[in-house]
A = this chain, B = another copy of it.
Amino acid sequence: MSTEAAAAFIGPDALIQHWQGHRRLTRRVIETFPEDQLFAFSLGSMRPFGALAMEMISMGAPMIRGVVTGQWDQLGSREARSRQEVLRLWDESTDHINTLWAQIPPERFRETMTAFGQYPGVVHDLILYVIDNEIHHRGQGYVYLRALGIEPPPFYER
């Protein structure tokens, strides 16, 4: 491994801790939504937060599973369901992500793959896309909560 290749902004252990911190915050945002608004409330014709949370679930563990195995699941259903069921799927994803993360060979992060058969990229960029997409849509959820008169959880608490 050359010195250039070895230079780290952040390592795999710190990155997964960082992501799981974001995931804990997103979980709190899901919990904070009133059950009857989770798949109903929206602004500007955007998708309701429940659909966005289901998108995050359909991307997170399946992305890491693909990075480990080269097998890409179909992106899962984003249909409405109870908040309890969304949280159950969320927690299941959290466990899958942790288990799969430990199986990623360190050199894999710099390799190029085609995620879900259609998104080519360097693996670290593919993974950051999933994390950034979660932060982006969660920010949208913050506006929905505020517009509903509900205080969102603090952004800085993970």
Contact surface of A with B, Cβ cutoff 8 Å: 1, 4-15, 18, 22, 43-46, 106, 109-110, 122, 124-125, 127-129, 132-133, 135-140, 142-149, 155-156
Which residue on chain B has the smallest CB distance to residue A8? B8
Known: A9-B124, A10-B109. 19 other contacts (CB 8 A): A5-B8, A6-B8, A7-B8, A7-B11, A9-B10, A9-B14, A9-B15, A10-B124, A43-B43, A43-B143, A43-B147, A44-B143, A44-B146, A44-B148, A135-B139, A140-B140, A140-B142, A140-B143, A143-B143
Question: Residues of B contacting A127 with CB < 8 Å?
Answer: 9
Secondary structure call for the A interface: helix
Question: Residues of B contacting A156 with CB < 8 Å?
Answer: 129
Contact A146 B43 (CB under 8 A): yes
